[in-house]
Amino acid sequence: MDSTSVAAPRTPRRRFRAPKFTLALPTWAFYVVFFAVPVAFIIVYSFGTKVQGSAGRTDLSPLTLERYRDAFDPTFFTVMRQTMRISITGTLLCLVIGFPVAYFMAVRVPPRWRGVLLGVLIIPFWTNFLIRTIAWKIVLSPVGFFSNWFQDIGLRDSNLQVLNTKAAVQLGVVYNYLPLMIFPLFVTLDRLEPVLREASKDLGAGRIKTFLQVTLPLSAPGVVAGLLLVFIPLSGDYITAAVLGGADGNMAGALVASQFLQAQNQALGSAIAVILMGAIILSISVVAVAALLVRTVIRRARRVDLAEFEPTMAGV
Amino acid sequence: MTARVRRRRVDLVNVGLVVWAVAALVFLYLPIVFVVIYSFTDNRDLTRWGGFTTEWYSRLADNQQLLDTVWNSFRVAIYATPVSVVLGGLAGIALARRPGAWTRGFLVFVFLILVTPEIVDAIGLQVWFVNLADQVSWLGGPLINPSVPVIRNLFPMMIGHVIFSSAVVTLIVRARMAGLDESLEEAAADLYAPPRRAFFQITLPLVFPALLAGGLLSFTFSLDNVIISQFVSRPGSSTFPLYVFGKVRSVLRPDLAAASTLILLATLFALAVVVAVLRRSGDSSTDIAATLTGGA
């Protein structure tokens, strides 16, 4: 077999060999035309000027920074601060709520039941986003079931007043993005071999120590994926806030939307969108740098000097 | 003695985790259960219970505006899904089977698409489909306003949905192909199958479950999408989510809950089919989870 395969090439050599990415070429072209170019246009438009009196026309002949100056008004700062507070709090809440769930499913539940439980978790994620959000209006309604029930059992002496507040927005975003945190965490924790935890136990580590020094560090990729998957879409989301927050539910995304859909000022809307993207990238970078620093410090503190062990290991 | 104590503690941790997980599940299902129950309320205001009735379901057939938007939603989904599956499938197979210098750049692209806030895509596409059509006449034809008879006004929306969906399909297909041994395809080549035949008889069946799951994700994404649709919808092309979103600030009527319940049932049915197919192809629950959540 070996000798023949060297001698006879399997297929006749073609004159032209297609480059490796040929199959991906249509997708690539699609993304350039309908993603990269439109997003690039937004960046260019943010330096433009609205043609006065027109319905959404933008003058690009003198590119100017004026729109960025327009964007930074007091309303903008209030909304931006609220957006970031809700996004960061929401992301952290998702992590705190989601981690034990993912850990339970991946580590404690017998494999036979894992699939069922996972299916049960996936169903809400696959149901309509807007329907799920509007459903909270029924749940939190001042004249609804819970409001009446809370009053019946004496928990409250007036109607439930959660709807159209920041609390409702916070609840809504945690609800909508929680599955995006649980799934990557579950996949990472599920891939950890139980052998690792057993080894840690055999080496004398207790439960808490095993969790803190083995399970938790090894789940880091899942945590990072979950944080990104939740934080980024959450900070651009304004639908949840519009549905549940009422007048209190103004997110940065809504500012962009209203400039485009109502004020017809695409230049200003683009500038706000660029600033929003900048804020997202900045927050992620800050967290990434902080995480790297913490990791470096922990590694320093825990460093095991192999040279010290060399003689003993050789002895074994 | 110590063993006993330790045992108790383990149980406590376990009990805590069970309670926590059950609470999370209740939290996730609470609003969905409420929508289903309240679609039967005998009251014009959705947020108040007023006795049981199936009136809202029978009335759905009379609400032409709502039916039109539901039909539009399904049409966009029907157009966007095959396009996403083909584009994502090709890219995913190429990434897994023809890796090279281009892989990293392409993956960065896919990642950027997935993490860009939807509002940014939405306004970009609005500029593309509305402003450029007027200003750059030579672009107007093929890329912005093609005279494809069946799609017509839904074309921009379809494009917007395909961007996200195809990126997700790409990752799902890549993850599945990476887990499959290439030896089957090599065996086909050794047995003198021409590349095209090897592709259709070996590669495609292997990757089929991923395409199916990706297709379902694309379909539900289209049925679900608000932001992009809002910015590129044209007169007469409003979708169900846009219709619902338009009603949010006024009094919610139970017919919305009834329509939502029906769409929910359709989604559940499709999800069950996909899980059954993945099961048959021998996936573990983790594989299914990774597939259904976009190869995370």
Dist CA A24 CA B102 (whole Å): 10
Q: In angstroms, what separates the C-alpha of B109 from chain A's closest C-alpha?
A: 8
Percent of chain A with pLDDT over 90: 31
Element (H, E) at A58: strand A58-59
Which residues in chain A have Cβ-Cβ distances shorter than 8 Å to B99?
20
CB contact under 8 A, B296 and A119: no
Give the best residue of A120, A121, A127 to mutate against chain B (max B CB count within 10 A): A127
> What are the pLDDT tens digits along chain B (296 aa)?
444 555 555 578 889 999 999 999 999 999 999 999 989 988 888 777 888 888 888 888 888 988 899 999 999 999 999 999 999 999 999 998 888 888 899 998 898 898 888 999 999 999 888 777 666 655 555 565 555 555 667 888 999 999 999 999 998 888 888 777 778 778 888 888 887 888 888 888 888 888 988 898 899 888 889 999 999 888 778 899 999 888 877 777 888 889 889 888 888 888 888 778 777 776 666 666 666 665 44
pLDDT tens-digit series, residues A121-151: 888 887 888 888 988 988 888 888 888 888 8
- According to DSSP, residue B98 is labeled S
**Rounded to the nearest 10 degrees, what angle do helices B2-38 and A74-103 cross at?**
130
Is B40 part of any domain?
Answer: no
> Judged by CB atoms within 8 Å, which residues 214-233 of B form the interface with A?
220, 223-224, 226-227, 230-231
Residue A1, pLDDT > 50, answer no
Nearest alpha-carbon partner for A172 in A135, A220, A124, A122: A135
Token pair recorded at residue B100:
């090279």
Q: What range defines the domain where residue B109 resides? A: 64-292
Token pair recorded at residue B28:
């996730």
Is B151 part of any domain?
Answer: yes
The whole-number pLDDT of residue B151 equals: 63
The pTM assigned to this predicted structure is: 0.84
Which residues in chain B have Cβ-Cβ distances shorter than 8 Å to A21?
94, 98, 100, 102, 106
Is B26 part of any domain?
Answer: no
Helices (H), ranges, chain B: 2-38, 55-60, 64-97, 101-115, 118-126, 132-135, 137-139, 155-178, 183-190, 195-198, 204-224, 227-232, 240-247, 254-280, 285-292
pLDDT tens-digit series, residues B93-112: 999 888 888 889 999 889 88
Which residues in chain A have Cβ-Cβ distances shorter than 8 Å to B85?
none
CB contact under 8 A, A238 and B241: no
Is B159 part of any domain?
Answer: yes
A149 reaches B (C-beta below 8 A): no
Give the best residue of A10, A13, A31 to mutate against chain B (max B CB count within 10 A): A31
- As for how many domains chain B has, the answer is 1
B74 reaches A (C-beta below 8 A): no
Q: In angstroms, what separates the C-alpha of B23 from chain A's closest C-alpha?
A: 10
pLDDT tens-digit series, residues A281-299: 999 999 999 999 998 898 8
Q: In angstroms, what separates the C-alpha of B54 from chain A's closest C-alpha?
A: 18
Q: Which of B20, B126, B224 sits opposite A101 (nearest CB)?
A: B20
Q: In angstroms, what separates the C-alpha of B191 from chain A's closest C-alpha?
A: 10
Dist CA B36 CA A15 (whole Å): 63
Q: In angstroms, what separates the C-alpha of A311 from chain B's closest C-alpha?
A: 37
Which residues in chain A have Cβ-Cβ distances shorter than 8 Å to B98?
20-24
CB contact under 8 A, A108 and B120: no
Residue A61, pLDDT > 70, answer yes
Is B4 part of any domain?
Answer: no
Dist CA A200 CA A217 (whole Å): 13
Is B70 part of any domain?
Answer: yes
Backbone φ/ψ region at A29: left (φ over 0), alpha (ψ -120 to 50), beta:
alpha
B248 reaches A (C-beta below 8 A): yes
Q: Which of B14, B119, B224 sits opposite A273 (nearest CB)?
A: B119
Contact B237, B154 (CB under 8 A): yes
Is B39 part of any domain?
Answer: no
Token pair recorded at residue A198:
């057993």
A114 reaches B (C-beta below 8 A): yes
B190 reaches A (C-beta below 8 A): yes
CATH level 2 (architecture), domain A66-301 = Orthogonal Bundle (1.10)
Q: Which of A33, A123, A137 sits opposite B47 (nearest CB)?
A: A137
Structural domain spans, chain A: 66-301
Dist CA B234 CA A224 (whole Å): 39
Is B108 part of any domain?
Answer: yes
Dist CA B92 CA B86 (whole Å): 10
Give the 3-state secondary structure percentages of chain A, helix then strand then coil, rounded to 5: 75, 0, 25
Confidence band, pLDDT 50/70/90 cuts, at residue A90: very high
- CATH code for position B99: 1.10.3720.10
Residue A314, pLDDT > 50, answer no
